[in-house]
Amino acid sequence: MTDAMEMPATCPVAPRGWPNPLLPEYGQVPAGRPLTRVTMPSGSTAWLVSRHDHIQRLLADDRFSVEPHPTFPIRFPAPQELLDMIARDSKNLLVTMDPPRHTRVRQMALPDFTIKASEKLRPRVQELIDRYLDRMEEAGGPTDLVQALALPLPAQVICEMAGIPEAERDVFTRNAAIMVGTRHSYTMDEKMAANDELMKYFAALVTEKQQNPTDDMLGNFITRAGRTDEFDHHGLTLMTKMLLLAGYEFIVNRIALGTQTLLDHPEQLKALQADPAGLMPKTVNEVLRHFSIVDEIIARVALADVEIDGVTIKEGEGILVLKGLGDRDPDKYTDPDAFDIHRDARDHLAFGYGVHQCLGQHVARLMMELCFTSLFARFPGLHVVESDEPIELVDGLPPVHKLVVGW
């Protein structure tokens, strides 16, 4: 017996909206049903998982794999050459490894991503934020907050963590911005060229840190990996790319989206300014919950038959986890589509769940906390400026590339 529903609809891949980027196709997912089967543009089928409790259960279940598999759910049609390349590269990426190898590799990186390690960054992150806000104030408004703060800050923090010398940071910041930019801002050829330049730089950086070990996040990871046979040089280069770029667009979005949304809710912003110590942690979590809808859909393939609430996911079948819908689950959150900094959203799914939960979540929280605190303290009259160039809606991340503000 099953309460699942067959849907002829394709997997949701529509453009994101503003300011509430809910995908229209998500409305097709029947409320209350444990699982929904869909056919994807690639022609394969998979189960959609959208309830908060089901997402946590399945992402914590080691009977689901992230590694390449003949029946792994592929959302988009792709040539075999590309699929082969993905399969090769996946062997060297933490996000596409299963335990026990995933456990071994994650342990190599984890010491530099703990809460304690992240807190050590606080003075430097604050110094960087103050520098960017000084420039904004000196230049005078209006200004594009994305270009002035949201894009450069995470790039500089990543460079600090990775021990990239000041003189070489332009290679990372320039190309990283292109890679996360919208398709309206950069062509695919420009994005591929940026990727190629970064890979060449990362390859040289790995070599340098192998020959001259450094006490920083990347240097420590390379040193720990060097004591094992887990990676060759190309593998370390791919891991470097993943460690440095995986969370970049995530935090760029959250700084911009969080600022915009707080400005759109002046009463909540006033409450936050009156009690930053009490409300800032909740505010950060609510921004993360409210906008987890804009992130990638998590895919897994079943390694064995798995039953959930009367529905059997058979061995070899794929699941697509809609964590954005999980974070809008009315059985989990009261009035889930509303933005509310007073709610307790600590168990949101923005960083994923289970063994693959985001390594950089503590650094991301730190940047958001310090950005919101400093921005509204420095510019208490901050407001969105009406512009002839509205916020651009795009069919991929990030959902916003411009946020013009004045003060």
How many Cα atoms are found within 13 Å in the side-chain-facing hemisphere of 216?
Answer: 22
What pLDDT shows up at residue 109? 96
Q: Which regions in the chain score pLDDT beneath 70?
A: 1-34, 76-78, 181-184, 293-296, 386-401
Q: Where are the beta strands (DSSP E) in 337-397?
A: 383-384
d(CA 301, CA 165): 41
What pLDDT shows up at residue 8? 38
Lookup: tokens for 147? 């270009």
Domain ranges of the chain: 5-406
Residue 186: phi and psi, rounded to 5, are -140, 145
- Digit-coded pLDDT (tens) for 342-359: 999 999 999 999 999 999
The pTM assigned to this predicted structure is 0.89
What pLDDT shows up at residue 292? 78
Lookup: tokens for 135? 């420039």
For the domain spanning 5-406, the CATH number is 1.10.630.10
What pLDDT shows up at residue 1? 36
DSSP-assigned states of every residue in 200-259: HHHHHHHHHHHHS--SSHHHHHHHHHHTSSS--HHHHHHHHHHHHHTTHHHHHHHHHHHH
Lookup: tokens for 333? 């959150």
Strand partners, 301: 65, 318
Three-state DSSP class for 47? Answer: strand
Strand partners, 308: 311
